[in-house]
């Protein structure tokens, strides 16, 4: 399936957040966003640097990281406010929480921006589609408008098939806008821009490229990659050439900083009911468990808590989780745990979600409580499972690990007996 990635970026984040807080405390105050204003430095002494500038301030040539003194020279009537990081963190948290209400597949890139993978949510959000906006524009507008309504600040949403293009798109005209940058729009929308505007192209790289006559992103895209590697170094050369041609990653790192987790979710083709549960929900959980397990194995990590989440036909999200006795990366363990969680969530007496006639529009499976193997659950069942998959070397490694662990815990020789018994 084609990927649909959003990049959501808060417009002049620190300035907007300071403005929103100010208005909350004093509804009669001037909205900092509507006048030349900056966050940072000290108004009286004019020391320090500009942390954020309003769009009217930017019109005077005021930029982030400029000295406050210089900013006042450009615009003497400038309003300044001190930065307030506690408030920023709180607004950032509320912003990300709204994104996560639309999908679990969210990668926070910084305090005020995040990527979302909305590829499988078309049916889930079909009610947002209108004559004006089909999917995914409809979803981007709904998301943007909800943030504005609930939190009081605006965002830009960039839409494409990968992170690089989505990020480039969100940087087009601001504020409060949705832009697409699909591969077939690169030539028109991205290539005319100066190469310095390419995400990841620093000032020094841009200067170097300019000295070779590479002025625009188009020039970089059409340049010989070998030449770029020679001039910029292997890694940067490849990066600039790939990005200028619109190529970038399309899978998100969904682990959260607060409670790391690996999850995948899918929108169902039609609502899953109590009647279709066995035939339709179980295969979805199996598939999702396999993909979560694959990602854990790729990253060589393990999770201790398994969770399932669903979205019901009334758009409410529900979830249920349980902690295992030790962490795991086994698809079988994740799947069996997730299936039993989903059964409880769906049919638990009196409270089961599927008992009252609602259906599921989305099902997700994930693990959290991530570690690097120090809390591993090593069961005979896993060992046997892996043998049957022909993963003999992995099995041996785990047997060794299990043996070491048990030796430490119970003294030497325990493993052989235990394993024989299991067979």
Nearest distance from C-beta of residue 92 to Mg ion, angstroms: 11
Among 8, 13, 105, 284, binds Mg ion (CB under 5 A): 13
| C-alpha closest to that of 186 among 144, 143, 136, 245 | 245
Which x/- pattern, by CB under 5 A, does the window 108-127 give for Mg ion?
Answer: ----x---------------
Nearest distance from C-beta of residue 63 to Mg ion, angstroms: 14
Nearest distance from C-beta of residue 184 to Mg ion, angstroms: 27
Does the protein bind Mg ion through residue 96 (CB under 5 A)? no
Among 4, 5, 9, 111, binds Mg ion (CB under 5 A): 9
Measured from the CB atom, the residue of 9 and 250 that comes closer to Mg ion is 9
Measured from the CB atom, the residue of 157 and 252 that comes closer to Mg ion is 157
Q: Catalytic annotation on 225?
A: no
Nearest distance from C-beta of residue 10 to Mg ion, angstroms: 5
Token reading at 192: 């005319």
Measured from the CB atom, the residue of 9 and 107 that comes closer to Mg ion is 9
Nearest distance from C-beta of residue 14 to Mg ion, angstroms: 9
- Which span sits near Mg ion by CB under 5 A: 1-9, 172-180, 199-207, 331-339? 1-9
CB 143 within 8 A of CB 114: no
Count residues near Mg ion (CB under 5 A): 4
CB 223 within 8 A of CB 231: no
Nearest distance from C-beta of residue 11 to Mg ion, angstroms: 6
Measured from the CB atom, the residue of 167 and 241 that comes closer to Mg ion is 167
Buried b (16+ CB within 10 A) or exposed e, 117-128: bbbbbbebbeeb
Q: Tokens 């524009």 sit at which residue?
A: 137
Measured from the CB atom, the residue of 112 and 250 that comes closer to Mg ion is 112
Cα–Cα separations (whole angstroms), residue 174 to 54, 55, 136, 157, 179: 11, 9, 19, 10, 10
Active-site pick, 107, 113, 255, 382: 113
Measured from the CB atom, the residue of 81 and 370 that comes closer to Mg ion is 81
- Which span sits near Mg ion by CB under 5 A: 8-16, 251-259, 296-304, 319-327? 8-16
- Which span sits near Mg ion by CB under 5 A: 9-17, 46-54, 136-144, 341-349? 9-17
Nearest distance from C-beta of residue 170 to Mg ion, angstroms: 8
Measured from the CB atom, the residue of 88 and 125 that comes closer to Mg ion is 88
Nearest distance from C-beta of residue 212 to Mg ion, angstroms: 31
- Which span sits near Mg ion by CB under 5 A: 105-113, 114-122, 235-243, 337-345? 105-113
Active site residues: 113
The residues binding Mg ion (CB under 5 A) are 9-10, 13, 112
């Amino acid at each position: 399936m084609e990927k649909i990635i959003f990049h959501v970026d808060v417009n002049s984040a620190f300035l907007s957040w300071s403005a929103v807080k100010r208005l909350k405390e004093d509804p009669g105050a001037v909205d900092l966003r509507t006048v030349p204003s900056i966050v940072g430095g000290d108004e009286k002494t004019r020391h320090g640097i500009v942390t954020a500038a309003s769009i009217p301030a930017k019109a005077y040539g005021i930029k982030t990281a400029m000295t406050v003194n210089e900013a006042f020279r450009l615009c003497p009537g400038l309003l300044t406010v001190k930065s307030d990081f506690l408030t920023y963190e709180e607004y950032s948290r509320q912003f990300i929480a709204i994104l996560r209400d639309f999908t679990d597949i969210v990668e926070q890139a910084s305090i005020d921006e995040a990527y979302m993978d909305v590829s499988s949510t078309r049916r889930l959000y079909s009610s947002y589609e209108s004559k004006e906006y089909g999917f995914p524009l409809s979803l981007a507008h709904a998301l943007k408008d909800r943030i504005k309504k609930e939190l009081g600040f605006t965002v830009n949403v960039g839409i494409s098939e990968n992170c690089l293009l989505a990020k480039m798109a969100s940087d087009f005209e601001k504020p409060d806008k949705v832009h697409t940058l699909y591969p077939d729009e690169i030539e028109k929308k991205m290539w005319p821009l100066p190469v310095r505007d390419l995400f990841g192209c620093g000032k020094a790289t841009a200067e170097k490229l300019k000295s070779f006559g590479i002025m625009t992103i188009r020039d970089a895209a059409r340049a010989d990659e070998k030449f770029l590697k020679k001039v910029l170094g292997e890694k940067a050369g490849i990066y600039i050439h790939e990005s200028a041609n619109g190529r970038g990653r399309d899978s998100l790192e969904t682990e959260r900083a607060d409670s790391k987790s690996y999850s995948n979710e899918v929108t169902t083709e039609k609502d899953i009911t109590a009647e279709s549960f066995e035939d339709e929900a179980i295969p979805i959980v199996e598939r999702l468990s396999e993909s979560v397990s694959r990602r854990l194995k790729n990253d060589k990590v393990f999770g201790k808590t398994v969770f399932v989440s669903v979205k019901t036909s009334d758009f409410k999200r529900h979830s249920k989780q349980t902690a295992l006795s030790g962490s795991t990366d086994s698809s079988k363990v994740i799947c069996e745990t997730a299936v039993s969680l989903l059964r409880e969530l769906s049919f638990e007496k009196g409270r089961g979600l599927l008992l009252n006639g609602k259906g599921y529009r989305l099902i997700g499976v994930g693990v959290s409580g991530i570690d690097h193997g120090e809390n591993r659950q090593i069961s005979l069942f896993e060992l046997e499972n892996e043998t049957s998959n022909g993963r003999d070397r992995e099995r041996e490694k785990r047997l060794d690990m299990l043996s070491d662990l048990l030796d430490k815990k119970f003294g030497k020789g325990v493993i052989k007996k235990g394993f024989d018994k299991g067979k």
